Structure 1
Amino acid sequence: MKKLTKIALSLSLICVSVSVFSAEKANKDSTYQQAYALYLLYHPEKNTKSIVQQYEQDYANLFKENKKANIDQFVQYEQSRLEPVLKQRREMSLKQAYVRYGILDKNKDQKLTLKEFQETGVKTFDEFDKNKDGIVNAEDAKLNSANKGTHDGFRIKLPISMPMASSVNEFIQQYGKDKNYVTLGEYLTARDQQFFATDTSGDYVVTEQEYVNEFMQRFDKNIETGKTQMQELAVQQFKVIAKGKVALEASDITKFAKQVNQSISK
Structure 2
Amino acid sequence: MKIVPLTAALMALVLAPAVLAQPASKTSTASPTAAAFLAQFATEGTDSVSWAQFEAFRKQRYADTDRNHDGHVDAQEYVDEYLQRFDVRLADARAGHLRQTDTRFKALDRDKNGAISRAEYDAAGERTWAGYETSQNATQETAAASSRDPLKMPTSHTANGMLELYDRNKDGAVDREEFDAVRAASFAATDTDGNGSLSLAEYTSEFEGRLDQQRQRVRADAERQARVRFASLDKDADGRMTFAEYQLSGKRMFDRADSNGDGVVDAHDPEPVAGAHSANGNR
**TM-score by structure 1 length?**
0.66
Structure 1 match to 2:125: 121
- CA drift of 1:184 comes to 2.7
CA distance in 2, matches of 1:241, 1:60: 18
For residues 73-118 of structure 1, give each alpha carbon's deviation from its aligned partner in whole angstroms, at most 9, with x where no partner exists: 1101011112233333333333222221101111101120122112
Q: Secondary structure at the match of 2:57?
A: helix
CA distance in 2, matches of 1:116, 1:95: 20
Where in structure 2 are the equivalents of 1:1-266 lying within 5 Å? 43=40, 48-49=47-48, 57=57, 60-64=60-64, 67-130=71-134, 141=136, 143-146=137-140, 148-149=142-143, 154-156=146-148, 158=150, 160-165=151-156, 167-176=158-167, 177-243=169-235, 245=237, 246=239, 247-249=241-243, 250-258=246-254, 261=257, 266=274
Corresponding pairs, count: 215
CA RMSD of aligned residues (A): 3.6
**TM-score by structure 2 length?**
0.62
For residues 16-65 of structure 1, give each alpha carbon's deviation from its aligned partner in whole angstroms, at most 9, with x where no partner exists: xxxxxxxxxxxxxxxxxxxx9xx79x84x9x8346987697377323356
What are structure 1's unaligned runs of at least 5 residues?
Answer: 1-35, 131-139
- CA drift of 1:235 comes to 1.1
Distance verdict in 2 for CA 1:172–1:162, change over 3 Å: closer
- Asked whether the 8 Å contact 2:190–2:203 carries over to 1, the reply is yes
What are structure 2's unaligned runs of at least 5 residues?
Answer: 1-32, 260-270, 275-283
Q: Which moved more, 1:57-66 or 1:221-230?
A: 57-66
Distance verdict in 2 for CA 1:145–1:88, change over 3 Å: closer
- CA drift of 1:256 comes to 4.0
Whose helix proportion is higher, 1 or 2? 1
Q: Secondary structure at the match of 2:147?
A: coil
Structure 2 match to 1:22: none
For residues 159-193 of structure 1, give each alpha carbon's deviation from its aligned partner in whole angstroms, at most 9, with x where no partner exists: x3224355313422442222121123321221111
Q: Secondary structure at the match of 1:182?
A: coil
CA distance in 2, matches of 1:171, 1:233: 27
For residues 194-215 of structure 1, give each alpha carbon's deviation from its aligned partner in whole angstroms, at most 9, with x where no partner exists: 1110000001100111111111
Q: Secondary structure at the match of 2:115?
A: coil
Distance verdict in 2 for CA 1:188–1:254, change over 3 Å: same
CA distance in 2, matches of 1:105, 1:185: 25
Q: Which moved more, 1:121-130 or 1:191-200?
A: 121-130
